[in-house]
């Protein structure tokens, strides 16, 4: 009887131990959180990584660049910061919503700038290697799973790679031409609500950009 009781206690201890082991150091998708700049900023991306930094995003009604830096705090199930978590396992995706764009990332093109620090924090400041456009939320993904702490970040994307095939070339020009003079988001490369002559230099300077 005593032995049976002891065995029971031992089993419970094993279960608790296993639960703690499963949680410690493993990112919790609900407790981990991400933020970006206010004002529904828009990122300008190129497949070759020569688009805008997150500090140079655009927002409607603001003639100056706005800071859309993403800050991600990675916590485990015990709300303990997960330090030195690999940058390669934290990346951005477009939320899957019909009719909101053809955003594509080059291989590894949207990973975090660095591994998490001692506080479990990493950022996205450097330009992405990406093309296409998105008016859906930007989703922060850890180990292939989206954060569940929010529905994503209010951060949109556009690119001189308007058709989202990873290359800026002659195939993108007809889209820009068709949108010229309109308010169409995907061709508003310097985002200010109008596709006009001011957007042409971005198409020109991005010409030839490809995924590395
Ligand atoms: Ca293209
Ligand atoms: Ca514009």
Residue spans of the domains in the chain: they are: 2-206
Å from CA of 200 to ligand 2 middle: 9
pLDDT string in tens for the chain (212-residue length):
444 554 444 454 444 444 445 579 999 999 999 999 999 999 999 999 999 999 999 999 999 999 999 999 999 999 999 999 999 999 999 999 999 999 999 999 999 999 999 999 999 999 999 999 999 999 999 999 999 999 999 999 999 999 999 999 999 999 999 999 999 999 999 999 999 999 999 999 999 999 99
| H or E element in which residue 105 lies | strand 104-105
CA 125 / ligand 1 centre spacing (Å) = 24
Instruction: Note whether 100 and 131 are within 8 A (CB).
Output: no
What residues flank ion ligand 1 with Cβ within 5 A?
161, 163, 165, 167, 172
CA dist 52 to 49, 65, 85, 148, 159, Å? 8, 10, 26, 28, 10
Cα(160) to centroid(ligand 1), Å: 7
d(CA 177, CA 196) in angstroms, rounded, equals 10
Looking at all shown ligands, the one closest to residue 186's CA atom is 2
pLDDT at 2: 47
Global confidence as pTM: 0.89
> For position 44, what pLDDT does the model report?
98
What is the CATH code of the structural domain delimited by 2-206? 2.60.40.10
How far away, in angstroms, is 136 Cα from ligand 1 center?
20
156 in Cβ contact with 39 (< 8 Å)? no
């Amino acid at each position: 009887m005593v032995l049976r009781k002891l065995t029971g206690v031992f089993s419970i201890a094993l279960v608790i131990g296993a639960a703690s082991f499963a949680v410690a150091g493993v990112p919790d998708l609900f407790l981990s959180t991400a933020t970006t700049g206010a004002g529904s900023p828009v990122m300008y991306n190129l497949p070759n990584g020569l688009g805008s930094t997150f500090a140079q995003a655009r927002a409607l009604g603001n003639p100056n660049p706005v800071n859309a830096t993403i800050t991600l705090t990675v916590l485990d199930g015990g709300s303990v910061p997960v330090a030195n978590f690999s940058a390669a396992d934290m990346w951005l995706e477009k939320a899957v919503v019909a009719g909101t764009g053809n955003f594509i990332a080059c291989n590894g093109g949207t990973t975090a700038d660095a591994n998490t620090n001692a506080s479990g924090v990493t950022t996205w400041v450097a330009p992405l290697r990406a093309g296409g456009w998105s008016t859906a939320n930007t989703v922060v993904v850890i180990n292939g799973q989206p954060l569940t702490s929010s529905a994503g970040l209010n951060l949109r994307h556009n690119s001189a790679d308007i058709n989202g095939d990873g290359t800026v070339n002659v195939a993108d020009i007809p889209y820009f031409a068709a949108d010229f003079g309109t308010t169409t988001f995907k061709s508003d490369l310097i985002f200010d609500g109008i596709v006009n002559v001011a957007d042409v230099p971005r198409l020109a300077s991005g010409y030839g950009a490809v995924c590395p």
